[in-house]
Amino acid sequence: MSPPANANLSGDRPTFTSHLECSTTGKRYPADRLHGLSAAGKPLLVRYDLAALAQALSKETLAARPADMWRYREFLPVRQSENIVSLGEPMTPLVSLPICARALGVGEILVKDESRLPTGSFKARGLCLAVSMAKELGVSRMAMPTNGNAGAALAAYASRCGIEAYVFCPEDTPDVNVREIALQGAKVWKVNGLIHDCGKIVGEGKERMDWFDISTLKEPYRIEGKKTMGLELAEQLGWNVPDAIFYPTGGGTGLIGMWKAFAELEEIGWLDEERPNMVCVQASGCAPIVKAWQDGADHAELWPDAHTIAAGIRVPVALGDFMILAAVRESGGYAIAAPDSEIAAAQQEVATRDGLLMGPEGATTYAALRRAVGEGRVGRGDQVVLFNCGTSLKYPMPEVARFIDRHQPIDYDAIAAG
């Protein structure tokens, strides 16, 4: 008999958080208290008693659970089941692109299709976790800057548990995102600036507004939610990793989270020391991490005049730049940018060849893969995973002008000619 659909959300599962740790100095902080950044102004990472976790959980137990994000409960920090705020976060499929793979000469291309999560993007993973922890730790008001998808996910989860949410978007954020955020109950403003300008409004308003800053990496738990992408991917591949992961990188939470997942899985003996090449993908109009990687730098500089159709990765400055760069280097990976023209072409190519409509950020990974193949960075037998992080349906698409007047004779010759 299969377990009830909500089995991962109820009952008493043991939890294993031991403490939090500064990503730069290693200084320890107690768990189960509200934290933003470390005293050094750097992101905090959640640490677990992994030896005890390994005793308590087996791969077989895990395999029998319902296929959602909360099957990984032991790897996550929420203590009390009643604090889990869930909209149903399914395990997302790995969709193969056989025709594209043949055309590019790559062994296998798998797309982790994150567009199927609540609010249509993988931001749901991070915000589901962060809002659940905020509820557990007694937060009643939160704020964040967003290019759209994070704000939508925050709005949805915060409304669901009665937390007040304030959201600030660049003024050219697609209207559908802004409206979606408002409709899901957050208070949303457009700002004449980019995401880091919006972030400043949140930071400087802290005292007056008494809100908790849930910006990317400014609290410890969004990473833990995004970490489930790495746990899921490894499990879906039979506790293996692919040869390369192409990740559309904005703030980098997902890349950092997956890197953390692989390390935790190795520590409990479920993965060996093999790692995928972590490939940081950005758009040419906003590629601070790519530039830092090329320059051999540990930190990235603010990217001036950032612009790209891939709005979700238009992030001129990332707090976790040093962690992204470290993961890319340690993995033997690389950082690569593609221009908007190639992103649009990639979107069309994947959709017309293999029937998968990727968002512009996801399509950026395919455009980058095409470049990487051209540069000889991908082997002919390689298994490559691309991340489609959000639904394309929130973005404007090319217009279709064809029209039929049904009161006139239908011109089937014209229809047949396409």
Ligand X SMILES: *Cc1c(COP(=O)(O)O)cnc(C)c1O
**In the bound complex, what is the minimum distance in angstroms from residue 84's beta carbon to ligand X?**
22
Q: Which amino acid, one-letter code, is at 402?
A: R
Whole-number Å distance between alpha carbons of 375 and 373:
5
* Near ligand X by CB under 6 A: residue from 361, 369, 372, 385: 361
By beta-carbon proximity to ligand X, the closer residue of 230 and 254 is 254
Residues in binding contact with ligand X, number by CB under 6 A: 18
By beta-carbon proximity to ligand X, the closer residue of 77 and 148 is 148
By beta-carbon proximity to ligand X, the closer residue of 77 and 390 is 390
Regarding 389 and contact with ligand X (CB under 6 A), the answer is yes
* Near ligand X by CB under 6 A: residue from 216, 308, 347, 365: 216
Regarding 215 and contact with ligand X (CB under 6 A), the answer is no
Site for ligand X in 299-358 (CB under 6 A): 312-313
Strands 141-145 and 212-213: parallel
By beta-carbon proximity to ligand X, the closer residue of 77 and 120 is 120
- How many other CB atoms sit within 10 Å of the CB of residue 49? 15
**In the bound complex, what is the minimum distance in angstroms from residue 408's beta carbon to ligand X?**
43
Whole-number Å distance between alpha carbons of 144 and 181:
12
Q: Which residue has the tokens 């192409």?
A: 246
Site for ligand X in 228-287 (CB under 6 A): 248-254
Is residue 357 packed enough to be buried (19+ CB in 10 Å), middle (13-18) or exposed (0-12)?
A: middle
Return the half-sphere exposure (C-beta side, CA atoms, 13 A cut-off) of residue 148.
25
By beta-carbon proximity to ligand X, the closer residue of 9 and 233 is 233
Angstrom distances, CA of residue 171 to CA of 95, 147, 156, 168, 397 = 34, 9, 21, 9, 20
Three-state SS letters, 56-123: HCCHHHHHCCCCEHHHHHHHCCCCCHHHCCCCCCECCCEEECHHHHHHHCCCEEEEEEHHHCHHHECH
**In the bound complex, what is the minimum distance in angstroms from residue 396's beta carbon to ligand X?**
15
Regarding 43 and contact with ligand X (CB under 6 A), the answer is no
Pattern 119-158, binding to ligand X, x per CB under 6 A?
--x-x-------------------------xx--------
**In the bound complex, what is the minimum distance in angstroms from residue 173's beta carbon to ligand X?**
11
Lookup: tokens for 41: 């102004």
**In the bound complex, what is the minimum distance in angstroms from residue 245's beta carbon to ligand X?**
12
State whether residue 26 is helix, strand or coil. Answer: coil
**In the bound complex, what is the minimum distance in angstroms from residue 405's beta carbon to ligand X?**
39
By beta-carbon proximity to ligand X, the closer residue of 46 and 389 is 389
170-174: Cβ within 8 A, 24+ apart: 170/194, 170/195, 170/197, 170/198, 170/314, 173/146, 173/147, 173/148, 173/311, 174/148, 174/311, 174/394, 174/395, 174/396
Lookup: tokens for 265: 């899985």
- Note whether 373 and 102 are within 8 A (CB): no
**In the bound complex, what is the minimum distance in angstroms from residue 69's beta carbon to ligand X?**
16
Those residues with Cβ within 8 angstroms of residue 73's Cβ, 6 or more apart along the chain or in another chain: 8, 13, 15
By beta-carbon proximity to ligand X, the closer residue of 150 and 346 is 150
* Near ligand X by CB under 6 A: residue from 199, 220, 316, 390: 390
**In the bound complex, what is the minimum distance in angstroms from residue 320's beta carbon to ligand X?**
9
By beta-carbon proximity to ligand X, the closer residue of 50 and 153 is 153
Q: What residue ranges bind ligand X (CB under 6 A)?
A: 121, 123, 149-150, 216, 248-254, 312-313, 359, 361, 389-390
